[in-house]
Structure 1
Amino acid sequence: MSSPEAKLQHYRTEFITSSLAADALKFGSFTLKSGRQSPYYFNSGMLNNGGLIATLASAYAALIAVEFPTLDVLFGPAYKGISLAATTAVALRTEYGRSVGFAYNRKEAKDHGEGGWHVGADIKGKKVLILDDVFTTGTAVRQAAQGIREGGGDIVGVVFALDREEIGTDGEGESAKATLEKDLQSKVKSVLTMKELIGWLEDAGRKDDVEQMKEYREKYGIKA
């Protein structure tokens, strides 16, 4: 059986090609939540059938197998993180024999029935790994992290599908990733980075997309 590292390389390529085919990864001109005009956009909501989400879940699982040997619960911030946490838990069990819980937050706390802020596995006293789709500034993850800590969980890290590798929105030179790692006191990893995506586009001969991506990286990308 191939190693998790080899599997990750394989699934990373599958992730790019399937995202392009499903129109989850687009090139053009897009206004981000940060207000920046980006030449590309990734929407994990378009990975909306079994085959597509299985590819991404397998990529997450391979990365987790490499970087996070110890964890108890996968936590997916609502709404897109819900399917990511559930399917990655299945992939970890199927491909690596690791059985972990999964949970997600409600947008609003429930005041009837079982009540509570989150749904799924218990997080109190557990090692929790947060999963999300795209990392730009980490706002949704910070909100989830606050709830996890208030619920007694121990955050061991964060995994994204795509790291845009941008500096923060407040003009600071430090990367948004470095700031998030400092804030959470845990490591932040991603299946794919902007640099790796540019490399794939170069190999595919997509010169116009590469030029626009490099211009954007020069303006907003991390410098180190």
Structure 2
Amino acid sequence: MTTTDTDLAADIDATCRLTGEFTLRSGQVSNEYFDKYLFEADPQLLARVAREVAQLLPAEVDLLGALEMGGIPIATAVSQLVGIPVVFVRKKAKEYGTAKLAEGPAFAGKKVVLIEDVITTGGAVRDATNALRAGGAVVETVICAIDRSPGEENPLADVGLQVRAVLTKAELDAARATA
């Protein structure tokens, strides 16, 4: 298992797995959906996920990059645990005020580890990576709560990102099978 919290997969699965017909960000249609907001809204589950994410951080990190919107609660909780500041990354730059893509501390020249809730194809992470790199950030790693990407291939290899996951879809499926 990816996580050291042996009950986490079963608890996340019981809380978050929905069945039906769902269109994912990628446009793919799925008969199940992991509603990550259900665990992010639960303080105990969020704290458990944050502890696991903190254990997956690389040795050298200047900033956590919280992807809008699901990565924000996780990254904020991790930040409180480890004392690393967070930059909040929007899907697109604001069209008013500061017109920033990323809010928080300056990230140019900094090692940023992206934090995301669920990765399937990695589209939002890919977009954020490209935008942060264009702004001078060093982005090499993304940590997600749930990796539901198909197969064993890294969906973000094309942008040179290492994906680290607290839980994989296979682990959630195994937890469901033993429940």
The reply to whether TM is greater than 0.5 is yes
**Distance verdict in 2 for CA 1:138–1:57, change over 3 Å:** same
Q: Is the 8 A contact 2:88 2:102 kept in 1?
A: yes
Q: Look up the match of 1:158.
A: 142
Distance in 1, matches of 2:9 and 2:65, equals 21
The answer to which structure has the higher helix fraction is 1
Distance in 2, matches of 1:184 and 1:71, equals 19
Letter in 2 for 1:180: L
Say which one has the larger Rg.
Answer: 1
Query: Across the two proteins, how many residue pairs are aligned to each other?
Result: 177
The question of 1:79 aligning with 2:55 is answered: no
Distance in 1, matches of 2:7 and 2:132, equals 32
CA deviation vs aligned residue, 1:126-181 (integer Å, no higher than 9, x gap):
111111111111110111111111111000201111111316xxxxxx83x2x412
Instruction: Give the RMSD, CA atoms, in angstroms.
Output: 2.5
Q: CA deviation at 1:19?
A: 5.0
> Gaps (5+ residues) in structure 2?
none
Q: How does 1:159-174 map to 2 (within 5 A)?
A: 159-166=143-150
Tell me the TM-score normalized by structure 2: 0.84
The question of 1:180 aligning with 2:164 is answered: no
Counterpart of 2:34 (choices 35, 38, 42) is 42
Q: Look up the match of 1:29.
A: 20
The question of 1:9 aligning with 2:9 is answered: no
CA deviation vs aligned residue, 1:87-144 (integer Å, no higher than 9, x gap):
11112x2xxxxx3121112344346654422101221101111111111111101111
Distance in 2, matches of 1:58 and 1:159, equals 12
Distance in 2, matches of 1:50 and 1:201, equals 22
SS at match of 2:68: coil
**Distance verdict in 2 for CA 1:37–1:143, change over 3 Å:** closer
Q: CA deviation at 1:191?
A: 0.8
Letter in 1 for 2:103: V
Q: Is the 8 A contact 1:128 1:153 kept in 2?
A: yes
Counterpart of 1:60 (choices 53, 66, 76) is 53
Q: Is the 8 A contact 1:76 1:85 kept in 2?
A: yes
The question of 1:202 aligning with 2:144 is answered: no
SS at match of 2:71: helix
> Gaps (5+ residues) in structure 1?
94-98, 168-173, 205-224
**Distance verdict in 2 for CA 1:137–1:111, change over 3 Å:** closer
Letter in 2 for 1:88: V
The question of 1:106 aligning with 2:90 is answered: yes
Larger displacement relative to structure 2 (122-131 or 79-88)? 79-88
